[in-house]
Chains A and B, each alone.
Chain A
Amino acid sequence: NAGVTQTPKFQVLKTGQSMTLQCAQDMNHEYMSWYRQDPGMGLRLIHYSVGAGITDQGEVPNGYNVSRSTTEDFPLRLLSAAPSQTSVYFCASTQRGRNTEAFFGQGTRLTVV
């Protein structure tokens, strides 16, 4: 079991460029989420999905798009990168149920210059 796999691990973008952060899980979890981590702010929810074809916005969705065509994959798209999107991005997956453990990927460190 690989768990939650994120690619790439590091990325540098120029302002205005677009890119997709990949996330895949092999645990057959229904729920998947994207968070961003910024110093002193903890992790904040960007978008989440409760199943294939179903996505919704989290706390900080602006500038990001998601889709979920399969149970396994949940890519995060940056439409037009801005320096404010410099952050570490984490993908997580969980089973149904509020008291279940979230499994996190290793993160993608993104710098927008």
Chain B
Amino acid sequence: AQSVTQLGSHVSVSEGALVLLRCNYSSSVPPYLFWYVQYPNQGLQLLLKYTTGATLVKGINGFEAEFKKSETSFHLTKPSAHMSDAAEYFCAVSSTGGGNKLTFGTGTQLKVEL
């Protein structure tokens, strides 16, 4: 079975500081990995997705993620946090077996402080 683990349920950064949200995956086959963002009282929207062969993936709103097979990681970063980045972030893996079923991590709540 495939799974993802997000370290840190809450992360707080200052505006302008680096954002680093951690995600590690477990998969016996090449994984299909995603980062989704959820703003308060909203549904989830895609930030970025891993494409086989690429190690650095760029997403919306200045976010990017680096796929490291040796570390089974897909950490999300942004060089400079903005107040509007405050949200909950979910790492997810698409399972095999059809249906595009997603297995989500437990989420990381990002707080951005002045």
Chain A partners chain B: yes
B49 contacts chain A at the CB level, 8 A cutoff: yes
Question: Taking A98-B94, A99-B49 as contacts, is the C-beta distance between A104 and B44 under 8 angstroms?
Answer: yes
Query: In the complex the two chains form, is B43's CB within 8 Å of A33's CB?
Result: no
Query: In the complex the two chains form, is A45's CB within 8 Å of B106's CB?
Result: no
Count A interface residues, CB 8 Å.
29
Query: In the complex the two chains form, is A105's CB within 8 Å of B51's CB?
Result: no
A101 contacts chain B at the CB level, 8 A cutoff: yes
Q: How far is the CA of A50 from the CA of B95 in the complex (A)?
A: 14
Chain B positions 88-103 with a Cβ under 8 Å from a chain A Cβ: 90, 94, 96, 98-103
By a CB distance below 8 angstroms, the chain B residues around A104 are 43-45
Query: In the complex the two chains form, is A94's CB within 8 Å of B100's CB?
Result: yes
Interface residues, chain A, with chain B CB atoms under 8 Å away: 4, 31, 33, 35, 40-45, 48-50, 56, 58, 90, 92, 94, 96-102, 104-107
Within the complex, which residue of A33, A42, A105 is in contact with B101, where a contact is CB–CB below 8 Å?
A: A33
Looking at chain B's contact residues, the main secondary structure is loop
Query: In the complex the two chains form, is B90's CB within 8 Å of A42's CB?
Result: yes
Q: Could you jot down 22 A-B contacts, CB within 8 Å?
A: A31-B100, A33-B100, A33-B101, A35-B104, A40-B9, A41-B106, A42-B107, A44-B104, A45-B102, A58-B101, A90-B43, A90-B44, A92-B44, A92-B102, A94-B100, A99-B49, A101-B34, A102-B36, A102-B46, A106-B42, A106-B43, A107-B41
- Min C-beta distance of B108 to chain A, whole Å: 10
By a CB distance below 8 angstroms, the chain A residues around B107 are 40, 42
When C-beta atoms are compared, the residue in chain A nearest to B93 turns out to be A98
Query: In the complex the two chains form, is A45's CB within 8 Å of B45's CB?
Result: no
By a CB distance below 8 angstroms, the chain B residues around A98 are 32, 94, 96, 100
By a CB distance below 8 angstroms, the chain B residues around A99 are 32, 49, 51, 94
Q: How far is the CA of A101 from the CA of B101 in the complex (A)?
A: 11
